[in-house]
Chains A and B, each alone.
Chain A
Amino acid sequence: MTAALETRNLTKRYGRRTALSDCTLTVPAGRVVGLVGPNGAGKSTLLQLACGLLTPSDGDIRVLGERPLGGSPRVAFVAQDTPVYPGFTIAEHLRLGARLNPSWDAGYAERRIAALGLDPAQRAGALSGGQRAQLALTVAAAKRPELLILDEPVAALDPLARRGFLQALMELTAESEVSVIMSSHLIADLERTCDHLIVLRDSAVTVAADVDDLLATHHRLTGRRQDPAALSGGRAVIDQRHTGVQSTLVVRSTAPIDDPGWQVDRLDLEDIVLAYLTEGPR
């Protein structure tokens, strides 16, 4: 199966500043992929390269097996803060979408707007944040893309609107074969909606794995102060903290840890991501 997104040594420089450096990754198709990392780590740059809005300085990028092309009917992009045209009505957004996209699914778009209880004659500028985000998602989804890319779509939404947006997005993935790549700072949201996670740090990929695997293989170990080198092989220490008497480790291990010297606890996805983002300088 062709990967949704594949990059090799992908690099993007703006003048002297490097926004993305030597990024090599494969995003499997048919999945919902979360992209996390601190501001400035290169998330938006990577997403815009994938949409063909930017061109690489170096390296190679393939989207659905092709070099990305701005305006491709196979890829839909929802930019940060889910922009819409404030002066246009909802009906005009849908007409514009139909005009610009040969694959436009008018029936789907109208059903979605009706299901949301929105009046097609209303101007987008008068909509709430949550309604604007839903309109942007509807316009992107009605293209019937093979890949849907969303850059922090829920960052500005209240919890209720955020849940509504994610419900709509998950319904969309349940009823179509679309692959999704979504960046967000809200890791709890990604934990439930994504099956694959990519962590970017300092413009490079730190970890990329299935969410279930990340949750199953990472553990927090607490015990008397000791040298983590004493841990047996096959275990990677991701993060470590020591006080005078106690050591706390975040460990990646596929085998169970049965050392009675450590108390072993589960970690949620947010703790795992933070461990990767706070480990010592690379």
Chain B
Amino acid sequence: MIEFHLDARSGVSPYMQLIQQVRHALRLGVLREGDRLPTVKEVVARIAINPNTVSKAYRELEYEGLVQARPGLGTFVTRTLAADAESHRPLRHDLERWLAGARAAGLDDESIEALFVSAFRAFQEARP
């Protein structure tokens, strides 16, 4: 069972934070197929969040095919994302090479992060 948390200052809506935390747990293999997510009431009682927000996040995860709600039983993981880590290896390798290049060009940590975030945002917004 995973536990959710909320970052109030992130600007990411609580609903999206819950979705990201489930995806993250799936990627890391913390959640596996057949695992049960906490019930809406459990989440609400733990982190004082609007129950509609939790339901909405679970519906979105169901729509993505990651979980399935079984009436009266709970919401269960149907697919894991942990295998993806293996297929990401070449991408990670490319990124590490890029990072080495950025460092060699004299960029410090903050400049590297700013460059990445700015390029990533531009990419996201060009292709919504």
Contact = CB atoms under 8 A, between A and B. Distances in A.
Interface string A104-115: 000000000000
B69 interface: no
A260 interface: yes
Interface in A119-149: none
Contacts of B45: 167, 170-171, 174
B49 interface: yes
Instruction: List the 5 closest A-B pairs by CB distance, nearest first.
Output: A266-B11, A174-B51, A166-B48, A188-B8, A256-B125
Interface residues of A, number: 32
A215 B11 contact: yes
B8 A258 contact: no
B118 interface: yes
Interface stretch (B12-20, B30-38, B82-90, B92-100): B12-20
B44 interface: yes
A237 interface: no
A74 B41 CA distance: 24
A194 B52 CA distance: 9
A263 interface: yes
Interface in A216-259: 216, 256-258
13 contacts: A32-B52, A170-B45, A171-B44, A173-B44, A173-B51, A188-B9, A191-B8, A191-B14, A192-B8, A193-B50, A215-B13, A264-B121, A268-B9
Interface residues of B, number: 29
Interface in B45-97: 45-53, 56
A192 B14 contact: yes
Contacts of B9: 188, 268
B40 to A, nearest CB: 6
Given A167-B45, A215-B11, 16 more contacts: A32-B52, A170-B45, A170-B50, A174-B40, A174-B44, A174-B45, A174-B51, A188-B9, A192-B49, A194-B50, A211-B13, A211-B14, A212-B13, A258-B125, A264-B125, A271-B11
Contacts of B11: 215, 265-268, 271
Nearest to B49: A192
B53 to A, nearest CB: 6
